[in-house]
Structure 1
Amino acid sequence: MKRWRYTLGFVVLSVALLTVLYKGFGRNPHEVPFMLTGKPAPDFVLRSLTNNERVSLADLKGRPLVINFWASWCVPCQYEHPVLEWGHREYGSKAVFLGVVFEDSEDNARAFLRRQEARFPQLIDPRSRMAVSYGVAGVPETYFIDPSGIIRGKHVGPIDPESLTRRIREITTTSEPAAEAQRP
């Protein structure tokens, strides 16, 4: 009788494990379910790392945004930064690129940016308030916001040139009526 229970338990456990594996394979690990897609981007007012000027979401409304959360201690961020610099050079006339320093010191962030030759604005997020409101779980994470201020997507992990290009096309070709339909 006990042997039958163990066998049944093993079969149930095996089916559960196979189900999890089946559902997990074939999915892109960078496409994480994200509850803010199609919703207005949370407002922010942050200070620039380079010139101490204040930058706000309200000031940028009407322009597509690419917001990247990063840190100097993040190894994938080091690999990703040249892709974002390339994207800024290639698409900076179509979309505003912003970097947001995540849980890092200003000195470390500045040293990182000197090594990486950053050309787009970098902002300081004290106490990670903006990161929390955007749902950042770790770095790097990149958010794509259309001109109406609606979040159109999020990329988790280092972004590649093809994904960056595709996402920028999505936020620069979004029509106003579709964006309005997404508002609560």
Structure 2
Amino acid sequence: MGRWRYTLGFVALSVALLVVLYKGFGRDPHEVPFMLKGKPAPAFALRALDSGERVSLADLKGRPVVINFWASWCGPCQMEHPVLDWGAREFGSKAVFLGVVFEDTEDNARGFLQRHGASFPQLMDPRSRMAVDYGVAGVPETYFIDPSGIIRGKHVGPIDPQTLALRIRELTGEAPAAPAEATR
């Protein structure tokens, strides 16, 4: 009787593990469901790190907005920074790019930007109020807001150039580029 109990327990545990694995396969680990998707982006008004000017979401209405939360102490943020810098230069005429310094000091953020460059405004989020409003769990996280102020997506972790370009095309309503056909 005891041997059957262990066998049934092992079978039940194996089935449960297979169900968990099955549900996880085929999903993009960077596509994190969150409650703000399809909802108006939370309003903010923050000070730009370089100029001290106030930047608000209300002032950006009518333009797509890409918001990246980052920190100087974040290794993945350092890897991602060149992609966002490229994206701001490549797509800056189509979308507004903003960086938001997350739980870091102004001095550390300035040092990071002096070493790595900054082609788009960086905002200070004192006491992480904006991060809380957006539901930031860690950095880097990138949010995509359409011209009407609706959050259309969120990318968790370092973003790659292809994903960034695709998200910008989705925000601007541009058709994705057709794949190049092979020549013979």
User: Is TM (by shorter chain) over 0.5?
Assistant: yes
Asked if 1:16 corresponds to 2:16, the answer is yes
User: How big is the shift at 1:6?
Assistant: 1.5
Distance 2:92 2:63 in 1: 11
Partner of 2:94: 94
Distance 2:146 2:160 in 1: 20
1:19-30 aligned within 5 A: 19-30=19-30
Partner of 1:178: none
User: How big is the shift at 1:112?
Assistant: 0.5
User: How big is the shift at 1:7?
Assistant: 1.4
User: How big is the shift at 1:33?
Assistant: 1.0
Partner of 1:83: 83
The residue identity in structure 2 corresponding to 1:86 is W
Distance 2:131 2:9 in 1: 43
Partner of 2:152: 152
Partner of 1:50: 50
User: How big is the shift at 1:34?
Assistant: 1.8
Partner of 1:127: 127
Distance 1:45 1:5 in 2: 61
Residue by residue over 1:56-85, the C-alpha shift from the partner in whole angstroms, topping out at 9 and shown as x without a partner, is: 111111110000000001111111110001
User: How big is the shift at 1:48?
Assistant: 0.8
TM-score (norm 2): 0.92
The residue identity in structure 2 corresponding to 1:170 is E
Distance 1:50 1:82 in 2: 19
Partner of 1:181: none
Partner of 1:6: 6
Distance 2:107 2:16 in 1: 48
The residue identity in structure 1 corresponding to 2:153 is G
Runs of 4+ deviating beyond 2 Å:
none
Residue by residue over 1:103-145, the C-alpha shift from the partner in whole angstroms, topping out at 9 and shown as x without a partner, is: 1111111100011111200001111111111111111110000
Distance 1:115 1:25 in 2: 39
When the two chains are superposed, the root-mean-square deviation of aligned CA atoms in Å is 1.0
The residue identity in structure 1 corresponding to 2:60 is L
Distance 2:128 2:162 in 1: 29
Asked if 1:117 corresponds to 2:109, the answer is no
The residue identity in structure 1 corresponding to 2:2 is K
Consecutive unaligned residues of structure 1, counting only runs of 5 or more, are 175-184
How much identity, in percent, do the aligned residues show? Answer: 82
TM-score (norm 1): 0.92
- Pick which of 92-101 and 32-41 moved more: 32-41
